[in-house]
Amino acid sequence: MKRWTLEEIGKLAGVSRSTVSRVINNHPNIRPNVRERVQQVIAETGYQPNSAARSLVSNRSRIIGLFMPSVLRSAFTDPYYPQIIQAISHACNQNDYIVSLFLSQTVEEESKMIQRIVGSGVIDGLIITAEHTDTSFIPTLQAYDIPFVQIGRPHDTTKDDISYIDVDNYAGAHYATSHLIQQGHRRIAQIATIYNTAGVDRDRGYRQALVERGIAVDEELIEVGDFSETSGYEAMQRLLLKKPTAVFVQSDSMAIGALRALHEVNIQVPQDVAIVGFDDLPSASQLSPSLTTIRQPIYRTGTLAVETLIDILNTSKEPVRRIVLPVELVIRSSSMAN
Amino acid sequence: MKRWTLEEIGKLAGVSRSTVSRVINNHPNIRPNVRERVQQVIAETGYQPNSAARSLVSNRSRIIGLFMPSVLRSAFTDPYYPQIIQAISHACNQNDYIVSLFLSQTVEEESKMIQRIVGSGVIDGLIITAEHTDTSFIPTLQAYDIPFVQIGRPHDTTKDDISYIDVDNYAGAHYATSHLIQQGHRRIAQIATIYNTAGVDRDRGYRQALVERGIAVDEELIEVGDFSETSGYEAMQRLLLKKPTAVFVQSDSMAIGALRALHEVNIQVPQDVAIVGFDDLPSASQLSPSLTTIRQPIYRTGTLAVETLIDILNTSKEPVRRIVLPVELVIRSSSMAN
DNA sequence: CTGAAAGCGCTAACAC
DNA sequence: GTGTTAGCGCTTTCAG
């Protein structure tokens, strides 16, 4: 299959290369019959513009990068990632963009990657997942004027020049904890995380909900995990010594681990210990017992990240976009005493 | 941060643009002190070649595509995908390639995508996961001379012009089934899949193992799933009516569903029914009971796919590469009667 | 060993 | 409305 050029298509259609270019780019002032003739030839030949040539002259590649910094090999298997990747990929297609994937496992790899991405002009913009608190590469992006949007609230809220899409982690944790209080629980433990702002916000929501109902926060009842199932399992084992009657777990994958820990020592959920998770992963409804959790709109988050970035690309970087999506308490068996 | 051009770097270093280009591309015949002076300027300025210009003149983008056709929204959450994606991403980085992601959900989307990919020359080559049996896009790739390697054996084995990386699905299923026979089982059911060649090969291995030990294959004992946990759950429920004493499940995610189905009706594993899975997902060892399974080298598969593709890119398409990686039986609790 | 110059395929300013 | 032309930043002959 031959690769055609504008010049050749022009010759076949009996017009100049510019006219063909205009037809392709939908310029208004083309005589209808010329336009039609050209389109005919394009259809027959299957001509498609060379993207390198286009990028070179327009300074736009129509490629956006999805940058996921320091994703641990194990944590990446959390179903959150496939979902967000799928959403982003799909939204890019819809908008005729291509998405390139950048996964780094160490901080050094990360900065090398950023250099490569930023300097060569391969990508028009970047979507960044706010995986951890080290965001030392952000100044580089800003220095090079690479538009980007972050998924998840930025760590440093004093600088408010970063566009982001977040879900309402604070409210979610507050719903979850309040729900447990309403069920009559007082010794409500938490399996927390400390790696990103989602964890920070969920922790705040948990604490605030307790305080509002006059329950003192007991630091003994807070254990830390890293979003992996194993870490949830281990955190639950530690918590068992403290005899909580309920646990708010900051992610469903850790909640699955926690359930396993309880199951192994024959503690009944929800009768002996109630559990609420966070994410509403596909499997949450299929666990036994089915998992009460906070549903966050993962797919929508990915879609919005793409649309926001493209909007920034097409207009300007101002104003900064900040979007916080609502979450929802989904009550299932793991928290219902009756 | 300014974006420099070759010309400017040349001026700063007191040489021509060609010399700078030669330094960057490691051409041999450059006087050492000139080379050094140029490298100095490059380091100081942080110069990086514009990739669009490079692609235009060299016909190479250093981008490879990862094409996953018709991935169901749910099936994509199988931890297999994150693992293979991570491996491919990492291997690309190592080789200074960028990976772009193409996920299609329908066949129409798929062919649109392929058109876009091949025609515009954005990518140098493609890695394709052999998700389903419809590979109608392959002729297009061949017509456009896009190098590609497939992950998983191609469906049509009569045409042997496709390079691929596969794991030994036949042997794996044979190991699994033989192991169950060795444990004394005779009524060995299978939860199979029918969507790709992996399923076909695993089915063959299962059947062959039975036949070799003089056990007739009972079609009643074979149920079909689609790799999802839910489908494994449902298939197991159907199988229960046939009272098997052991089940070979073609994927760990389906095995997890099967275990759940057994657990719900209080059937003990492995005492009442033994289970063997396939994949050795990270969670396989952490189930209760821990899952006997076939370990396949997912990460290695991804790495090899990238390396093979790059090799093809750098040399020629001949000879066709066919790699089949060995698998391994990992015996855990779910199959051990004693 | 290095520089000058052509040209990759496209867009857009400028003529007509 | 349409053609002509310059030029995006790079690699690569071809001279010297």
Q: Are residues A218 and A192 in the same domain?
A: yes
Predicted local confidence at residue B72, as pLDDT: 66
Residue A307 lies in a domain: yes
Residue B319 lies in a domain: yes
Question: A120, A123, A231: which to substitute to probe chain B, counting the most B Cβ within 10 Å?
Answer: A120
With both helix axes pointing from N to C terminus, report the angle between A252-264 and A229-240 in degrees, rounded to the nearest 10: 50
Residue B50 with chain A: CB contacts under 8 Å:
56, 120-121
CATH number, residue A44: 1.10.260.40
Q: Are residues A160 and A254 in the same domain?
A: no
Residue ending a domain, among B24, B40, B58, is B58
Q: Are residues B243 and B262 in the same domain?
A: yes
Residue A134 has pLDDT above 70, yes or no: no
Kindly report which amino acid residue has its CA closest to the C1' atom of nucleotide C9: A53
Protein footprint on strand D: which nucleotides are under 7 Å from a CB? 1-5, 7-13
Q: Are residues A181 and A154 in the same domain?
A: no
* Residue B139, preceding peptide bond in cis (omega within 30° of 0): no
Task: Determine, for residues A56 and B56 on separate chains, whether the beta-carbon distance falls below 8 Å.
Answer: yes
CATH number, residue B241: 3.40.50.2300
Q: Are residues A250 and A314 in the same domain?
A: no
Q: How many domains does chain A have?
A: 3
pLDDT tens across A212-253, in order? 999 999 999 999 998 888 899 999 999 999 999 999 999 999
Mean pLDDT of A263-287: 93
Residue B1 lies in a domain: no
Mean pLDDT of A133-153: 87
Residues 169 through 228 of chain B touching chain A, CB cutoff 8 Å:
none
Closest residue on chain B to A113 (Cα): B93
Q: Where are the beta strands (DSSP E) in chain A?
A: 63-68, 98-103, 125-129, 148-151, 163-167, 188-193, 222-225, 246-249, 274-276, 293-295, 322-325, 328-330
Q: Are residues A280 and A320 in the same domain?
A: no
Residue ending a domain, among B58, B73, B92, is B58
- Identity at A157, one-letter amino acid code: T
Residue A193 phi, psi (nearest 5): -135, 160
Q: Are residues B173 and B291 in the same domain?
A: yes
Q: Are residues A69 and A138 in the same domain?
A: yes
On whether the CB atoms of residues B67 and B126 are closer than 8 A, the answer is yes
Q: Are residues B54 and B105 in the same domain?
A: no
Mean pLDDT of A55-75: 87
Give the range of the structural domain holding residue B102, as residue numbers without chain letter: 63-168+299-325
Residue A71 with chain B: CB contacts under 8 Å:
86
A108 — pLDDT class (breaks 50, 70, 90): confident
Predicted local confidence at residue A133, as pLDDT: 61
Distance between CA atoms of residues B178 and B276, nearest Å: 11
On whether the CB atoms of residues B35 and A32 are closer than 8 A, the answer is no
Mean pLDDT of chain B: 92
Instruction: Note the CA–C1' distance, A12 to D15, in angstroms.
Output: 38
Predicted local confidence at residue A166, as pLDDT: 96
Residue B233 with chain A: CB contacts under 8 Å:
286
Residue A215 lies in a domain: yes
Between A74 and A330, where is the model more confident? A330
Predicted local confidence at residue A79, as pLDDT: 86
Residue A311 has pLDDT above 70, yes or no: yes
Closest residue on chain A to B2 (Cα): A144
Kindly report which amino acid residue has its CA closest to the C1' atom of nucleotide C11: A57
Distance between CA atoms of residues A46 and A43, nearest Å: 5
- Per-residue pLDDT of chain B (338 residues), as tens digits, is 889 999 999 999 999 999 999 999 999 889 999 999 999 999 999 999 999 999 999 999 999 999 998 766 667 778 889 999 999 999 999 999 999 999 988 888 888 899 888 889 999 999 999 766 667 788 889 889 999 999 999 887 667 789 999 999 999 999 999 999 999 999 999 999 988 899 999 999 999 999 999 999 999 999 999 888 889 999 999 999 999 999 999 999 999 999 999 998 999 999 999 999 999 998 899 888 999 999 999 999 999 999 999 999 998 777 899 999 999 999 999 998 66
The burial class, CB within 10 Å (0-12 / 13-18 / 19+), for B248 is buried
pLDDT tens across B255-295, in order? 999 999 999 899 999 999 999 999 999 889 988 899 999 99
With both helix axes pointing from N to C terminus, report the angle between A197-212 and A169-182 in degrees, rounded to the nearest 10: 40
Choose among B1, B49, B99: nearest Cβ to A120: B49
Task: Determine, for residues A51 and B86 on separate chains, whether the beta-carbon distance falls below 8 Å.
Answer: no
On whether the CB atoms of residues A194 and A134 are closer than 8 A, the answer is no
Distance between CA atoms of residues A197 and B213, nearest Å: 58
- Residue A266 CA from chain centroid, whole number: 36
Is the CB of B61 inside 8 Å of chain A's CB atoms? Answer: yes
Choose among A81, A113, A121: nearest Cβ to B82: A81
Distance between CA atoms of residues A184 and B275, nearest Å: 41
Q: Are residues A286 and A320 in the same domain?
A: no
Choose among A49, A50, A83: nearest Cβ to B77: A83
Residues 115 through 134 of chain B touching chain A, CB cutoff 8 Å:
115-116, 119-122
pLDDT tens across A160-180, in order? 789 999 999 999 999 999 999
Residue A311 phi, psi (nearest 5): -60, -45
Residue B175 lies in a domain: yes
Residue A1 lies in a domain: no
Q: Are residues B187 and B290 in the same domain?
A: yes
Is the CB of B233 inside 8 Å of chain A's CB atoms? Answer: yes
Residue A8 has pLDDT above 90, yes or no: yes
- Residue A312 CA from chain centroid, whole number: 18
The burial class, CB within 10 Å (0-12 / 13-18 / 19+), for B160 is exposed
Q: Are residues A19 and A123 in the same domain?
A: no
**In angstroms, what separates the C-alpha of B210 from chain A's closest C-alpha?**
33
Mean pLDDT of chain A: 92
Predicted local confidence at residue A72, as pLDDT: 66
Predicted local confidence at residue A46, as pLDDT: 93
On whether the CB atoms of residues A71 and A104 are closer than 8 A, the answer is yes
Predicted local confidence at residue B56, as pLDDT: 97
Asked whether strand D has any atom less than 7 Å from the CB of B49, the reply is yes
Nearest CA to B105 out of B78, B74, B148 is that of B74
Asked whether strand D has any atom less than 7 Å from the CB of B5, the reply is yes
Residue B49 lies in a domain: yes
Residue B70 with chain A: CB contacts under 8 Å:
none
Task: Kindly state the percentage of chain A with pLDDT values over 90.
Answer: 74
Residue ending a domain, among A58, A82, A98, is A58
pLDDT tens across A214-224, in order? 999 999 999 99
Choose among B98, B264, B283: nearest Cβ to A122: B98
